[in-house]
Structure 1
Amino acid sequence: MVVTGVLLAGGEARRMGGVDKGRQLWQGVPMADSIAATFRAVVPKLIISTAEPDDYYRELADCLVADAPAYRGRGPLAGLLASMRQAAAMGHDTILVCPCDTPAVSEGLLRRLLAGYARAGGVPVIADCGGRVHPLHGVYPVTLADALEDQLKAGNRRVYQFALASGAIVLDCSGYSDDFINCNRLDDLR
C-alpha cells in the first residue's frame, strides 16, 4: 500500500464569505499549514486540491491539483477525483483525505484511519464520531476514480453517497472528537 495524503482546500467557502479557508488563521497558524504538518508526520507525499494553485500551497505540498474543467464548482468530490487521478499518476494506490476546515486533525486520527483501511483489505474507510459520519476524513483506493467520475457525471455531488456506494466501512473515531472541530465560518476561528 502506497499512500498519498490529500488536503482538500479548493472549496468556494461560501459560509466564510468566499475567502480562502486554508489561509485563515486558527490558533495563530493558517489552517492548511497545520493540517499539512500533520500529514507530513504520517505519509511521505501530500497533494493539495485547490482552486488557486499558487506559491503558498506549492510550498506545503508535493503536488497541487485543481478540479477538471468539467467538474469545477461541483464540491469536494471534484477535488477528490482530481487527487485520485494525480495519486495514481504518481504510482500511489491509496489516498488519505482531510478537508482544510478541520485544523485540529491529529496524527492519531490519521493513523487510526490508515490502520482501519489496512484491516479492511482495500475497502474505503471513513470516520464516525459520536454518530456523525465524516466521509471527507477517510482512506480511499484510487481505483475508485472512475466510479466517482460516473457519480459526478450523473450530477450527484454527495460525498457520503459515494462512500456508501463504494462499500466504505465506517470506523468509530469517537476518541478523537476534538479532531473534527469544523471551521466553516470566520467566527469559528475566534
Structure 2
Amino acid sequence: MAQKIVGLILAGGEGRRMGYQNKGLLSLQGRRLVEHVIDRIAPQVDQLYLSANRDLDRYRTLGLPIISDDPKWRGLGPLAGIASLLPYLEENQRVQIVSCDGPFIPIDLVCRLRGGLSKLQEDNLEIKAAYPATREREHYLYLQALGEDLQVVESLLEAGDLRIRALLKQLSAAPIYFDDESAFVNCNQPQDLEALERKNHEEL
C-alpha cells in the first residue's frame, strides 16, 4: 500500500504582528490567504486538515476538517497545532506542515521534500524530517516528517519548549534547497500583505 501523505495547514496562531487579525482569513487578490494555500497544497496530499482556534464558522466554509488545539496546549504556538493532529494519524503516514500565510508555496513542495529526505536518509538514518530553505532563509513551518516521528512534539510541550527549532533538533531535520525565494513569501505584518497586493496590481 502506498504511503499516505497528510497535510496540516497551521492557522491557529494569534497573529500578533498582524494586529491580532486572523491571518488565514485576510484577503489577497480577492481571496482569503488560506484559500491560496489550499489551492496549492491540496493536490499534493491525500488528506488535508486545518488547525484553527477561532473564527471556526468562517473556516468551516472551506470544507476541510478542522482541528483545534487540545485545551492543555492552546495558545502555545505551532507545536500545539502539530500535537493536536497526532490522534488523527494512522500508522505509517507522512505529514506535511504548511502555514496559512504562505500563498505561493511550490506546487511540487511535497514531492521535492520527500525525495530530498529519502536521499539524505540513504547516508544518515538519523535524519527524520526535512524543510525547505532558500538562499536568504530557512522555512521551518513547512516541515515534512513521518507521523510517528512527530510524537516527540508532546514531550517538548510538556517540557515547556515551544520552539519549532527544538522539534527540528529532535528530528535531526535537514534543509532541502529551493531556488525561488518568492515561493515562500509570507504575510506576517500588514505591510507584507500590502506589498503583495501592489506587486499583483503592477503585474496585471
TM over 0.5: yes
Query: Does structure 1 residue 156 correspond to structure 2 residue 161?
Result: yes
Match of 2:50 in 1: 48
Cα displacement (A) at 1:9: 0.5
Q: Which residue of 2 aligns with 1:111?
A: 111
Output aligned runs, 1:176-187, within 5 Å: 176-187=180-191
Q: One-letter code of the match for 1:176?
A: D
Give 1:31 shift: 0.6
What per-residue deviation string (whole Å, max 9, x for no partner) do you get for residues 24-45 of structure 1? 0122221100001111221121
1:83-130 C-alpha deviation (Å, 9 max, x unpaired): 233233xx5611111111111112133331232234355821111111
Summarize the alignment of residues 110-189 of structure 1 with structure 2, pairs less than 5 Å apart.
110-120=110-120, 123-173=128-178, 175-189=179-193
**Does the CA contact (< 8 Å) of 1:9 and 1:50 recur in 2?**
yes
Q: Are residues 135 and 144 of structure 1, via their aligned partners in 2, closer, same or farther at CA, if it must alter by over 3 Å?
A: same
Q: What residue identity is the alignment partner of 1:136?
A: L
Superposition deviation, residue 159 in structure 1: 0.3
Contact persistence 1:2–1:93 (CA under 8 A): yes
User: Is 1:109–1:179's contact at 8 Å kept on the other side of the alignment?
Assistant: no
1:33 partner letter: E
Q: Is the 8 A contact 2:130 2:174 kept in 1?
A: yes
In the aligned structure 1, how far is the partner of 2:172 from the partner of 2:81? Answer: 20
- Alpha-carbon RMSD: 1.9
Between 57-66 and 93-102, report the one with greater CA deviation: 57-66
Larger gyration radius, structure 1 or structure 2:
2
In terms of fraction of residues, the more strand-rich structure is: 1
Count of aligned pairs between the two proteins = 187
Q: Does 1:5 align with 2:7?
A: yes
Post-superposition shift, 1:56?
A: 3.1
Contact 1:3–1:92 (CA under 8 A) maintained in structure 2:
no
**Unmatched 5+ residue regions in structure 2?**
122-126, 195-204
